[in-house]
Structure 1
Amino acid sequence: MNAFGAEDEEYYFQIAENLEDDRQFILIIYDIVDNKRRTKFAKLLEGYGTRVQKSAFEAMLSQKSYEKLVREIPHYINPASGEDSVRIYRMIGKGRVKSWGDIPKQQEEIVVV
Structure 2
Amino acid sequence: MENYFWNTEEQQSTKKIFVLVIYDIVSNKRRNHFAKLLSGYGMRIQKSSFEALVDKKLLEKLEKEIPKAINPEEDSVRIYRMTGYGEVILFGQNQKLENEEVVIL
TM-score (normalizing by structure 1): 0.77
Pick aligned residue for 1:34 from 17, 27, 51? 27
Amino acid at match of 1:60: L
Gaps of 5+ in 2: 97-105
Is the CA contact 1:13–1:91 (under 8 Å) kept in the aligned structure 2?
no
Q: What RMSD over aligned residues (CA atoms) do the two structures have, in Å? A: 1.7
Answer with 1 or 2: which has the greater Rg. Answer: 1
SS of the residue corresponding to residue 78 of structure 2 reads strand
* Structure 1 position 49 matched with structure 2 position 60: no
Identity %: 53
For residue 99 of structure 1, what is the aligned residue in structure 2?
90
Q: Compare relative contact order (CA 8 Å, sep 6+) and give the higher one, 1 or 2.
A: 2
Aligned partners of 2:4, 2:44: CA distance in 1, in Å? Answer: 18
- Spell out, residue by residue over 1:38-82, the C-alpha distance to the aligned partner (whole angstroms, 9 max, x if none): 0000000000000000000010100000000000000111112xx
* Structure 1 position 89 matched with structure 2 position 80: yes
For residue 100 of structure 2, what is the aligned residue in structure 1?
none
For residue 12 of structure 1, what is the aligned residue in structure 2?
6
- What is the count of residue pairs matched by the alignment? 96
TM-score (normalizing by structure 2): 0.82
